[in-house]
Structure 1
Amino acid sequence: MLLSPSEVPAEPAAALTAPWVKWTAFGAGVGAAASTAVLAATSGLAVYFARQIVTPRQGRDANLEILAVIDSPDGLQIILPANEDTTVEGTYGLYFDGGSGFARIGAIRSYVPREGTVQRDVEHVYSGDLAKAVRGWWSGTIQPTPSDAGFPQEDVEIDVENGKAPAWLVRSLDGSDTWAIMVHGRGARRTETIRGLGAARRAGMTSLLISYRNDGEAPYASDGRYGLGLTEWHDVEAAIRYALANGARDVVLFGWSMGGAIALQTVDKSSLSRHIRALVLDGPVVNWVEVLAHHARLNRIPAQVGRLGQWLISNPAGRTLTGLAAPLDLKSMDWVSRAEEIRTPVLIVHSERDEFVPVGPSADLAEKHPDLVTFVRFPQGGHTREYNVDPDRWEDTVAGWLETALGRTRRPAERRG
């Protein structure tokens, strides 16, 4: 999520109603004062919006109440408030105890809308005492490590600009020289990318699940701000360099959400782009201007305020307000407009119900460049949660496309943990 409606400050938003006041009834002096107040409120909200976009959040909001945990004859079950996340079928993660506890939540056992609660299976508790937990947060992450998902892992470190970034290495079964480099999204960690391991293994690839600047695991950038892909690609390039130094000949980049934007920037800017054979993108940001306008609407922020926020991010004059070391050229990350510049095969998987990164630009990009961009629409699942709802279809889609893109024979699916 970029900015939730609950995070919009009340006072500036209320002040924005002032433009509808009929200033002529108050006289020129009062009108001028009101105009100044409106400008100040508009500017203040635009700065807040811009800073929220580029500032990594510290910690997560435990906004989901855990109502009860039941040891039933059918196994452990949990009762949660019914909302747009907890009432969707599929398999999900539940973090609790400040993130030190983690459980995998499965099928819905009962849901009566008028009662406002949902009861689901608890498939596995990986850490913590779920029975004592009172609050937590819902996640698309299903397992906390590749080993928990049934894939032998190695803990490695990648040299990046400000130090070393931790990563997981999962080797292929036959020592393939094509590696998959997995890039998580904004506000997430490399655990998000574990879901890509099955498809990568079936395509015969070794996988490198990376961290990158400002994600809470890798070293922070000097300004401590997201670059929305325009700075993070350097860390993906470092991962490619690591792969090439350790037996890879070429790579496939997997990217979720902002990780998709990062992958596209890596292909566009890296001196190692010739080693990138393909991109697999899930719910990717292919047009930041559209995504940020969507979030302004989602948070009931007037369009002119949203545009001002974008200007602050993109203009050198906004650096002191946003904290960015350098402005971000949002227009350069509009791949719908730059579709003809794409030279690498791309698979895009995107849910129609994606509430944070609209599916439209992904479909538009594929329509503009059908020779290289394959678009697969999923009817269900929230943002980057297509796998959670239908893991078999997601994995078959990705493995099948990779078979064609790489000219490989697809392996049978492995059992997921």
Structure 2
Amino acid sequence: MQLLRTAVTGTAIASAGSVALGAAAARRLLRPAPATPPESELVYATEQDVPGTEPDGIARTHVVHVHGQSIGPQQVLRGLRVWRSLGASSQVVDTTDLPLRSLDPAAVDRVAAAAHAARARGAERVVLQGWSAGALAASAAAARTPVDGIVGVAPLLDVRSALRGAVTSARFPAAVAIVAARIATTPGLSRLAGVPYPLTVTRWQDDRTPTLLLHSTADALVAEPDLAVRRARGARVVTFDHARHTLEWNEDPERWESGVRDFAAALG
């Protein structure tokens, strides 16, 4: 009997530990603490680079930029220069006020609305450029509002795969990723992650739009099988070797921007 009690107690403790770790993993994805990375990671120069719509008005090509979960709008500033050099106008969508940030359903609404408004104002070509979770939001917006291209930087292709990668890299038991995914996507349980409602978009949504994916093989959050699916469905992939998540530009700015230029040229 004592042995049975010990086994039951051990199982209960292990289960509670998995839930706690799963909740922490889900919270880090859905509602991470705002991060201020070193300037060497952001690489933006002056106040003139602050997000907004620039230049005034809409160019023939208009790019809607969407940041990921932790850093905020300044994350995308590394991606503005190449579009400026191509004569495009740019707009940065800020989702930091939303409960799930760029994974929030309202984030998709904002991106789709920005794309629709740019077209209404005369843009002949609209491109969505998203970083991490912002890329997933861009794919969902493109499934709703036709656009001419998607650029995904360290794209969050599948939330469950990303959680598995995060848990594995942290050397936690694989079961923690399963618990985290359940918490992130289940009404009520999502409150364990500090958010009022669950994630609804968990996988890449668009198959019809020309797509460029900028990806590092060192990025644990982007699974190679998910990337292979996107490649098989026509996405261009530019691969980097050593960059951590969303730092592909920092590894090789010239190659990063060349990949975007080639993609833009292919759009016509």
| Common fold: TM-score over 0.5 | yes
Indicate the residue corresponding to 2:44 in structure 1: 143
Does residue 1:198 correspond to 2:81, yes or no? yes
Equivalent residue runs for 1:79-94 within 5 Å: 94=38
2:54 to 157, 170, 183: 170
TM-score, with normalisation over the residues of structure 1? 0.58
Contact 2:188 / 2:197 at 8 angstroms: preserved in 1? Answer: no
Name the aligned partner's letter for residue 178 of structure 2: R
Contact 1:254 / 1:279 at 8 angstroms: preserved in 2? Answer: yes
CA deviation after TM superposition for structure 1 residue 241, in Å: 4.2
Does residue 1:302 correspond to 2:173, yes or no? yes
1:47 to 23, 40, 56: 23
Equivalent residue runs for 1:179-198 within 5 Å: 179-198=62-81
CA distances 1:13-72 after superposition (whole Å, capped 9, x unpaired): xxxxxxxxxxx8x42233333333333333233223322322231455xxxxxxxxxxxx
1:186 counterpart SS class: coil
Contact 1:183 / 1:260 at 8 angstroms: preserved in 2? Answer: yes
Contact 2:167 / 2:173 at 8 angstroms: preserved in 1? Answer: yes
CA distance in 2: counterparts of 1:193 and 1:58, whole angstroms: 15
Q: Cα gap change, 1:238/1:391 in structure 2, threshold over 3 Å: closer, same or farther?
A: same
2:216 to 345, 348, 351: 351
Equivalent residue runs for 1:241-256 within 5 Å: 241-244=116-119, 246-256=121-131
Name the aligned partner's letter for residue 20 of structure 2: G
Does residue 1:236 correspond to 2:111, yes or no? yes
CA deviation after TM superposition for structure 1 residue 249, in Å: 4.2
Q: Cα gap change, 1:267/1:204 in structure 2, threshold over 3 Å: closer, same or farther?
A: same
CA distance in 1: counterparts of 2:102 and 2:134, whole angstroms: 11
Name the aligned partner's letter for residue 388 of structure 1: N
CA distance in 2: counterparts of 1:323 and 1:385, whole angstroms: 27
Name the aligned partner's letter for residue 38 of structure 2: L
- Structure 1 portions without partners, runs of 5+: 1-23, 61-92, 96-138, 149-154, 156-166, 408-417
CA deviation after TM superposition for structure 1 residue 254, in Å: 0.7
Q: Cα gap change, 1:198/1:361 in structure 2, threshold over 3 Å: closer, same or farther?
A: farther
Q: Cα gap change, 1:323/1:94 in structure 2, threshold over 3 Å: closer, same or farther?
A: closer
CA distances 1:238-257 after superposition (whole Å, capped 9, x unpaired): 32244345443441001111
CA deviation after TM superposition for structure 1 residue 369, in Å: 0.9
CA distance in 2: counterparts of 1:385 and 1:46, whole angstroms: 26
CA distance in 1: counterparts of 2:229 and 2:45, whole angstroms: 33
2:179 counterpart SS class: helix
Equivalent residue runs for 1:199-218 within 5 Å: 199-212=82-95, 215=96
Bigger strand share: 1
CA distance in 1: counterparts of 2:174 and 2:261, whole angstroms: 41
- Structure 2 portions without partners, runs of 5+: none
Indicate the residue corresponding to 2:100 in structure 1: 225
Higher normalized contact order (CA 8 Å, seq sep 6+, divided by chain length): 2
Name the aligned partner's letter for residue 147 of structure 1: Q
CA deviation after TM superposition for structure 1 residue 146, in Å: 6.8
Contact 2:26 / 2:193 at 8 angstroms: preserved in 1? Answer: yes
CA distance in 1: counterparts of 2:102 and 2:241, whole angstroms: 31
CA deviation after TM superposition for structure 1 residue 361, in Å: 4.3
CA distances 1:152-201 after superposition (whole Å, capped 9, x unpaired): xxx7xxxxxxxxxxx412229x9633201111122122222222223213
Contact 1:286 / 1:362 at 8 angstroms: preserved in 2? Answer: yes
Contact 1:56 / 1:225 at 8 angstroms: preserved in 2? Answer: no
2:239 counterpart SS class: strand
1:364 to 216, 228, 233: 228
Q: Cα gap change, 1:195/1:362 in structure 2, threshold over 3 Å: closer, same or farther?
A: farther
CA distance in 1: counterparts of 2:116 and 2:230, whole angstroms: 29
Contact 1:182 / 1:255 at 8 angstroms: preserved in 2? Answer: yes
CA deviation after TM superposition for structure 1 residue 346, in Å: 0.1
CA distance in 1: counterparts of 2:17 and 2:242, whole angstroms: 39
CA distances 1:73-96 after superposition (whole Å, capped 9, x unpaired): xxxxxxxxxxxxxxxxxxxx835x
Contact 1:253 / 1:263 at 8 angstroms: preserved in 2? Answer: yes
1:208 counterpart SS class: strand
2:52 counterpart SS class: strand
TM-score, with normalisation over the residues of structure 2? 0.86
Structure 1 consecutive aligned stretches of length 4 or more whose deviation exceeds 6 Å: none
CA deviation after TM superposition for structure 1 residue 388, in Å: 1.7
Contact 1:140 / 1:384 at 8 angstroms: preserved in 2? Answer: no
Contact 1:286 / 1:361 at 8 angstroms: preserved in 2? Answer: no
Name the aligned partner's letter for residue 348 of structure 1: L
Contact 1:229 / 1:261 at 8 angstroms: preserved in 2? Answer: no
Taking only the aligned residue pairs, the percentage that are identical comes to 25
1:260 counterpart SS class: helix
Bigger helix share: 2
Instruction: Give the RMSD, CA atoms, in angstroms.
Output: 2.8
